[in-house]
Every structure is written in C-alpha cells, then in structure tokens.
Structure 1
Amino acid sequence: MAQPFVGEIRMFAGNFAPAGWQFCAGQTLSIAQYEMLFSLLGTIYGGDGTTTFRLPDLRGNLPLGQGAGPGLSERTIGQAFGSPNITLLPGQIPGHTHPIQATNTMASTVTPGPGVLPGTTPSPNAFYDAGTANPPGKNAFAAGTLGMSGGTQPHSNQMPTLSLNYIIATDGIYPSQS
C-alpha cells in the first residue's frame, strides 16, 4: 500500500484493519494517542474534544461528497441523513388513473359479472363512489372498489449493495493545505 495521507479513507476487502489504519466504525479514540488525526478531524464525528474524538461511522452508510451539486441539497462534512426504510405517502405518488371495463347494454341483474360494470341496470338506481356524499336513490360501489391500496408498511429503500470495510489512515504523511 502506498504511503497514505493521515485521515485518508479507503475501501478494504479484508476482515481486519492493517497496521496504521482503523475501521471507519464511529469508535472513540484518544486525542493523546492519535494527535495528528485529531488535528484533521476535530470533533466533526463526535467526542468531547478534550481527551477523545470519534471516527466517521461508515457501517451501513455510503459516503457522499460535501457541498451542493446543481439542484441538490447542501450537505456539510460529517452530516448523516437517509433511511434504510421508507413509507410512501399518497402525496409522494404521481397522479394516475385506472380504467374500468363496463358495457353499455342493459344488465339483467344489479350484480355485474367478473371484471365488468353494467352501463345500465334494471333499477333506476345508479352507482356512486363510496367516498362521496350518499345521494338519494343511488347505490354505493362495494367497499374497496375505489380507494387506496397497499398499506402503511415501510419498504426497503436500498439499492443492490456489497458490504466492504472502510478504513482510515492513522499513520502516514500529514497533508499540507494549499
């Protein structure tokens, strides 16, 4: 491995952190033992800033560049956000329609056949959406004919992913500022 900058983060496929590196697992380190690294990280990721500081925690998280790209929200260094699961609300789903099949011929019964609605029925009653006021002389669609479907259960919000270790250099070249 080439000589790293102190504070440099790399992906590592091993199940251990090499000498001079630590896992990016949010652990608390001693400022006295890792003074150079503390001078770069400070308390961005936590710690009391007097005797301890914390490393970034990339377990189960993806790194993202700080700042704001065109049309994107501002992100600051050390800011964590996102959720592995999300519950969609009706306002987050684009409007859409569902056509229903009907016939314009007179039905012999008020109960339609499977998958079809009669255009007219032998009674003077018509059908209305059960979500509207109950007009006199009208029959409601059966419950569940029109309405929301699904539920309020969260669903996974994660893309296909392969877990690897992120490691941060605790020893190496101290980076100079330009």
Structure 2
Amino acid sequence: MKTKRALFSTTVLAATAAAATLSLSARPAAACGTEAYIGQICIMAGSYCPYNTAEPTGQLLQIREYQALYSLIGCTYGGDCRDTMGVPDMRGRAPIGYGTGPGLTPRAWSGKYGQEYVTQTIAMMAPHTHTATFKPSGNGGGGTAAEVKVSTDPGDTNSPAGGKYLSAASSSGVKIYNSGTNASALTPLSGVSGGGGGGSSGGTVTVNPTGGLPNGTAAPIPTVPPSIAMRYCIVLDGLYPPRP
C-alpha cells in the first residue's frame, strides 16, 4: 500500500512539473516585461519606461553594452557600426508596416515618411473656372463722332475723284446720289473728319469667388489625424527573439 502511494505521488509530481514546463515554454513574451524580446517597442501610459527599456529618441548606444540588440538592428537607425549604434526616433511619429501594400506606395525598412503640414500649390488644385468682370479705364467712349461737310455752291465737275466735296445741284434734274453697290467705284470723300476715340488705357479685372475667401492666405494645411501622445519604450535587455 505504501509503495502504491509513493508511486502515485511521484506520478503527480512529474505531471505537475511537466505541465509547468509546458506553460512556461508556451508563454508569449511580454511587450515590456522581464520576458520581452530584445528590440521590441511597446507603449507606456506612465511617465517613464520600465527597467531594461529606454525611450527610442534616436540616441546612440555603445555596441559593447548592447551586443544582442546590435545583432538585431545593426546601424539601421544610426551609429558608426564600430563603437556606436542608433535606436529609432519615435518622437511624434507613428509606426507603419514596411513593404508594398496593394495599391500603396512602397515603404522601406526604417524609412521616415509624411509631414505635419502641406502648402498647396497650383499643380495640386483641381481644374476649375471662375467668372470675371473687366472695368476699363481711360478716355475711351462708346463711339467716335464724325462730321461730313458739303459745299453749298453749285457743282463744277461731274467726277468725285480727287477728293471732291458734295455740292448743290445746278438744276433739279441733276442726280448726285448713288447706292454704292459697285465697290470698285467708291472713292474717298473730302470734308469728312472725326475725333479719334481715346480707347482704354487700362482697367481692373475682378474674379468672382465661388466660395470661401476671395484671396488665399497660403497657410499650410494640417495633415495630422486625431491622435494622443504616449511614451514609446524599446527593450534593450530581455529574451533574444528566436527565428521562425
């Protein structure tokens, strides 16, 4: 009976130990805990980063002090690869997945992209039209006055060539008018004078706005979405991440 109890106790202890071992081996690495993977970056809501982590602000670290981290990221984020290495600068930035997503712009590993503001240029604007009005300035008028002088003396020639004036008919049967349908028979007439119009020496063009302000202020347009600033922490000392 004692032998059976001893065997049962040994079996229970062995099973318990095996279960504990399985539980430990299957436990995922914590983001910023004591069992976090080296090189992991986590977010903290507190005022400091936990032990064995540091804020990634682009600072340089000594390679001899963080050889495991150096073997993972090298000098991707700065450093001379002899004595120093850099960590990412996460201040004011949000991480994105590197590579080329469907229909998206390719993103290189460790590349920095985006800007907080953008100033719109003419090339960025969509094609559009505006109505406009022109107000002339100067001495221009709507027309030019002309004066035609005639002679009250009787006519002394039967040809209008040479710039002759219209004159009084010598008798009631004399015809001095014509329809002028024969263009080749037309000739300049003396006694015609007119004042030249001054025309428009300038003017003002007014473009009517279609909405908003009539003139832009060239102020940069913000492109930052709603966000909340928190603290990033990078694991400097922890578990070495196994390759899959």
TM-score, length basis structure 1? 0.71
Amino acid at match of 1:168: I
Aligned pairs (5 A) from 1:62-141:
62-97=94-129
Question: Which of the two has higher C-alpha Rg?
Answer: 2
**Cα pair 2:38 2:238 within 8 Å, conserved:** yes
How far apart in 2 are the matches of 1:16 and 1:42? 25
Aligned pairs (5 A) from 1:1-178:
1=33, 3-97=35-129, 142-145=205-208, 149-178=215-244
3-state secondary structure, aligned to 2:93: coil
3-state secondary structure, aligned to 1:32: helix
What's the C-alpha RMSD, in Å, of the aligned pairs? 2.8
How far apart in 1 are the matches of 2:53 and 2:112? 23
- Percent of residue pairs bearing the same amino acid type: 31
Amino acid at match of 1:177: R
Structure having greater relative contact order (Cα 8 Å, sep ≥ 6):
1
How far apart in 2 are the matches of 1:166 and 1:42? 20
Tell me which moved more, 152-161 or 66-75. Answer: 152-161
Q: Which consecutive unaligned segments of at least 5 residues does structure 2 have?
A: 1-32, 136-140, 143-198
Q: Which consecutive unaligned segments of at least 5 residues does structure 1 have?
A: 101-109, 111-122, 125-135
Aligned pair in 2 of structure 1 residues 99, 142: CA closer, same or farther (>3 Å)?
closer
Q: Which consecutive segments of 4 or more residues in structure 1 shift more than 2 A?
A: 93-100, 139-149
Cα offsets for 1:55-103 (capped at 9, x unmatched)? 1001011111100101111111111121111101122222345679xxx
TM-score, length basis structure 2? 0.53
Cα offsets for 1:113-145 (capped at 9, x unmatched)? xxxxxxxxxx96xxxxxxxxxxx87x9664443
Give the number of aligned pairs: 147
